[in-house]
Amino acid sequence: MLSGLRPNANSPEEIKVYEEFCRNFEAGRKYIAIALGIDERNKACESKKLMLEAAEHYKTAMNYLKAANAVKIMECPVSRRSEVHQTREKADGYLKSAQDRFLELTSKLGLSLPSADSTDSSSSRSRTNGTAPASARNRYSPARVSVSRRPTSTSSSTRSTPTRDSLLKGVDKKFGEALLDEMLENTGVRLSDVAGAETAKAALEEAVILPALNPALFSGLRQPVKGILLFGPPGNGKTMLAKAVASEAGQTFFNISASSLTSKWVGDSEKTVRSLFTIARNAQPSIIFIDEIDSILCERSSKEADASRRLKTEFLLQFDGAATSSEDRILVIGATNRPHELDDAVLRRFPKRIMLGLPDETARAVLICETLKRHQADSGLNDRDIRWIASNSEGYSNSDLVALCKEAAMVPVRAISREKLATAGTKVRSLKVSDFADALKVIRPSTNERVLDEMKHFATRAGQSIMGEKTFSLQDSLPSLTVPTIDETMDRYLNTATVLLTPDEIARTKKAVEEFRKSKHVEFMQAALEDKAKKEKNWLEEWWYDAYLEMRLPLVPYTSLASINPAGLRTSKREVQVLTAAESTHHMMKVWQKTRREQIPIMKSRGTVWDMKQNYVLFNSNRTPGKPKDRMDRYFKTDSEGKCPSHVTVLCRGSIWKMEMEVNGEIRSPDDTVRILRHIQKESPHVAQSPITLTTMDRDQWAEARQELAGVSRENERNLRIIEESVFVLTLSDDVCPSEEEALRYCMMGRSEQAWVDKNMNIIIMADSQILTQGEHSNLDAIVMLDAGNQMAAVMRKGEWKVEEAAWLSDLPERLNFQLTTTLVNKINDADSQFEKLKQSFRAKVVRFTGYGNDRLKRVKIYTDTVVQIALQLAFYRVHGRFGPIYETASIRKFFHGRTETVRGLTREMKMFGEAVKERKEEKEQLRLFKDAYDAHNKLMAEATNARGVDRHLYGIRKSLQSLNSGGKCQPKLALPSIFTDDAWKKSGGDGNFLLSTSFIGYADGVYGYVCAMREDGYGTFYLTQKDQILLTITDYVGTKSDLNAYGREIEWALNHLGKLIEFMEKTSKL
């Protein structure tokens, strides 16, 4: 065995280390459980004695968990290293929870804080300038909290750390002794301490940490690299990331700088380099980290000093020369801000080159939050404030953000007089978001565009650019949409379709289903469908768009989306309308810009990547009318794809304007946008007959009218193109909606000239500054548009703010004037009359249930969404005395270009539960049946999200039949299978006959909205499930069997009733 190497795996020392690690981890978990139990008992009385007792247990747990985390993975048996690595991640989470709760309790108890000397040394080492931890460490050890129990720790005598003599074997002590001072056996830094840089951390884990867990696996072609170059703008955690890698892998860490290697004496520098690598071999596995590596290994030239040239040559030979061994476990990590200055021979020895770019908005929010939390300075800021700060600090490095927090913390101090500052006990107010607004004027980004461009250029040319996954980078890796088998679809269809049928109808349906299973024609259509799925990644996509584009009804109210954005604060000050419009436009354009730059985070659900195409088609899209079907036109392009229209269409009193929103590559400022919008308001008289109204006609009528409008003049044709290519439409309305219900109706159908309804997104700013949105549904689903609205709302200023005045407009907006014929004017008048009739045909209202929300149901591990679905069916049953077919949208975005599948939520279990509620059976029986209904719904949802529903498959079968029958006049036509003409088909919701059309649209306390009911005698229900409430938007049509008010009341009753059952379940489970 070579000197300095660890003993063989499963030695007694390694087993002892592993056993002590397990004991400490289990003990830490045990004391956390005890503390949580005390906290639970203390909820009602808030006893200080119990608080103190809980704090003691949390403190004990922290000590045990810290001892567990101090164990080096490499000191454990090889067979246990992977397990220890995973368990340490759990220990990190437990430790953070214990620290947070301990801090909260000590703060409530007013316990004294220790001096700086008493803080954990490893924590202090992990704080390097410019990088904040992902989770704040608890630095408080209240003197009044005594902890008698101490965890066992790994004795230093059991470690197989090489001795000083073994490290210096074969080394001239003159050089070796100095280098040992640069060696850190345990850096005390974890990867979780580094905020952001998730993709870089993943790459480093693959290159360093995983090979350390199982060296035998990583051999041959899998042999880990020996050189990693970290490059990027200054102050983004390159040094801290290297220390974290060494700590996680349990390897000896040499922290080397230029001064460690250079000497004024000729020949000493080369000898120092040789000694460094010899010591590293004696201590292997080890990591040599060289900060600012460009200072010693820059490109060689004929003009450089001979000593510098010899040092570089020796370093390259020791790093990877003839005398080195492939078995050496030495990793060299270099960090630089100037990668382009490195010598080509140096770059060759760093095959993995990882760029750490500036933090994105999510990472900035985490870093700001944790920096403030670590210093107990965040009490005055909420999540929205943090998001605003993060959004407005684009371009800031990690160190810039720390400086920003420090500057903001000084703002309230400056408001205190010198006399008060000199007084002991003077309190400083909590931080406000305005403090950060002031700090942003003082602390500016330290990284300029030139440096960033150089980094990106190098990353493109020679690096492995790790700046986060681009929005659309994983599209091609998504799985193709699958095709279910006929048998499994028929089984699901029978289970749900027959719930509403009589025995005779059930017999007929079963017969139709069996015919369908055995039909040779169906077998042929299934084969055609499967063949299509082999050729296309999403066999449904084209047909699904056809389902929308072939509809001939007006888009409003039948297929459009409508929503209210709470960021719009009602005010009687008319000037605020333009301010709100400017902020909304600016920040929605920021979302557009991020999408162009592919900076929108890829959506994931429980680790599964979701398709992002709907984000791609959100902007610059238009549903252009045509016959026999419409056409979806998309003009959006990412930066890498080329130029993209960057103007917004503005509507005001029937006038139409083009407002350019990108100036010199940047989004126009809110102040400049205000000046342009003021001009538009001033120059927009009311237009009696506006072509905007034509977009509200049924699709055939509008297709004819558009063709006529474009044919009047080239200017008309150009104007249509400008509108249809625009990013989105902004409307300045003169109207006010006094109530929420009126606002809900207005955002769908207020005035016929309020929205160009073909566009994906129309943002409507009311006279009182309310923000409404109307969108075209065929191109994307509601949740994507609502999320964009939430992104906008999170960072925009609310209410009145001061505009920096300018002597003139930087550029004037363009008015789009249309030439209208008498025929077109008559069509506009007819369209307006039809619009006014239609807007009276539907109703919408909001139901806010405040009895409970996600927080309460999470505690009992129940999905809020499923509870809502059961409540909606109960409500319908109580209003109408019968059950009706219901669908809930299930996302299939885990598949390439996937959108939604239908969950047919009316099951036999649900029907039995509803009947038990109506008959007022005892709670125990109701609870049993509720659980059955709950499980049945969850099973259907799980199947649907895996593309194993009923409706999309059967729609594909019908489209296959349609394709086969369009083969030519001579080809015999296949008959429509009887399953589609059977009574059960429409009774169970087929062909869009669902009496309850429902969708879950998220968790955020933000934008809410709806799509109208699918059937005229049915109900539409879109809902948000929030922390402590459930917000539902419900709709129906006037003059039908539906009763919107009764439905709303019964929803609240049903949710209350289910809440009581869940409470009963909690009580009985504790007995």
Task: Give me the residue spans of the domains in the chain.
Answer: 1-112, 160-355, 361-420+431-446, 499-536+952-976, 569-603+610-840, 843-949+995-1070
Beta carbons of 167 and 275 less than 8 angstroms apart: no
The torsion angles phi and psi of 552, rounded to 5 degrees, stand at -105, -5
Q: Quick check: helix, strand or coil at residue 615?
A: helix
Tens digits of residue pLDDT in 966-977: 866 656 788 899
pLDDT value of residue 767: 95
pLDDT value of residue 160: 54
pLDDT value of residue 1008: 94
Give the C-alpha separation, 919 to 279, whole Å. Answer: 82
Tens digits of residue pLDDT in 217-250: 777 777 777 888 888 888 888 778 877 777 776 7
Q: Which of 581-595, 876-890, 906-920, 1000-1014 has the lowest mean pLDDT?
A: 1000-1014
Strands 647-652 and 655-660: antiparallel
Tens digits of residue pLDDT in 67-78: 888 877 767 776
Place of tokens 């009276």: 840
Residue 156 has pLDDT above 70, yes or no: no
Residue 733 token pair: 């309305």
Residue 209 has pLDDT above 70, yes or no: yes
Residue 1032 has pLDDT above 60, yes or no: yes
The H or E element spanning position 745 is helix 740-749
pLDDT value of residue 305: 72
Binned at pLDDT 50, 70 and 90, residue 184 comes out as low
Superfamily for domain range 843-949+995-1070: Chloramphenicol acetyltransferase-like domain (3.30.559.10)
Beta carbons of 905 and 995 less than 8 angstroms apart: no
Binned at pLDDT 50, 70 and 90, residue 153 comes out as very low
Give the C-alpha separation, 919 to 604, whole Å. Answer: 43
Higher pLDDT among residues 362 and 116, named by residue: 362
Residue 702 has pLDDT above 90, yes or no: yes
Beta carbons of 333 and 228 less than 8 angstroms apart: yes
Q: Which of 314-328, 613-627, 721-735 has the lowest mean pLDDT?
A: 314-328
pLDDT value of residue 124: 33
| CATH dotted code for 1-112 | 1.20.58.80
Tens digits of residue pLDDT in 989-999: 999 999 999 99
Residues 946-957, mean pLDDT to the nearest whole number: 95
Residue 171 token pair: 């080394």
DSSP letter, residue 209: I
Residue 319 has pLDDT above 60, yes or no: yes
Residue 937 has pLDDT above 50, yes or no: yes
Give the C-alpha separation, 188 to 66, whole Å. Answer: 11
Higher pLDDT among residues 217 and 660, named by residue: 660
- Positions of E strands within 703-841: 729-732, 761-765, 771-775, 814-815
Binned at pLDDT 50, 70 and 90, residue 344 comes out as confident
pLDDT value of residue 43: 66
Beta carbons of 773 and 764 less than 8 angstroms apart: yes
On the question of a cis peptide bond just before residue 285, with omega within 30 degrees of 0, the verdict is yes
Residue 322 has pLDDT above 70, yes or no: no
Q: Which of 209-218, 415-424, 961-970 has the lowest mean pLDDT?
A: 209-218
pLDDT value of residue 765: 97
Binned at pLDDT 50, 70 and 90, residue 324 comes out as low
pLDDT value of residue 434: 87
Fold for the domain defined by 569-603+610-840: Chloramphenicol Acetyltransferase (3.30.559)
Binned at pLDDT 50, 70 and 90, residue 113 comes out as very low
Strands 183-184 and 286-291: unpaired
Helices (H), 597-713: 613-616, 670-682, 699-712
Fold for the domain defined by 361-420+431-446: Helicase, Ruva Protein; domain 3 (1.10.8)
Residue 708 has pLDDT above 90, yes or no: yes
Mean of the per-residue pLDDT values of the chain: 84
Percent of the chain having pLDDT more than 90?
A: 48
Residue 166 has pLDDT above 80, yes or no: no
pLDDT value of residue 1054: 98
Residues 882-911, mean pLDDT to the nearest whole number: 96
Residues 598-624, mean pLDDT to the nearest whole number: 89
Residues 943-949, mean pLDDT to the nearest whole number: 94
**Intrachain domains 569-603+610-840 and 843-949+995-1070 with the same fold:** yes
| CATH dotted code for 160-355 | 3.40.50.300
Residues 56-62, mean pLDDT to the nearest whole number: 87
Tell me the β-bridge partners of 648: 659
Residues 879-894, mean pLDDT to the nearest whole number: 96
Tell me the β-bridge partners of 289: 255, 333
pLDDT value of residue 731: 98
Residues 127-151, mean pLDDT to the nearest whole number: 33
pLDDT value of residue 149: 36
Q: Which of 276-290, 464-478, 552-566 has the lowest mean pLDDT?
A: 464-478
The radius of gyration computed from the CA coordinates of the chain, to the nearest angstrom, equals: 33
pLDDT value of residue 135: 33
Closest CA to 183 of 269, 255, 285: 255
Residue 255 has pLDDT above 90, yes or no: no
Binned at pLDDT 50, 70 and 90, residue 415 comes out as confident
Contacts (Cβ under 8 Å, ≥6 apart) of 458: 231, 339, 340, 355
Residue 583 has pLDDT above 80, yes or no: yes
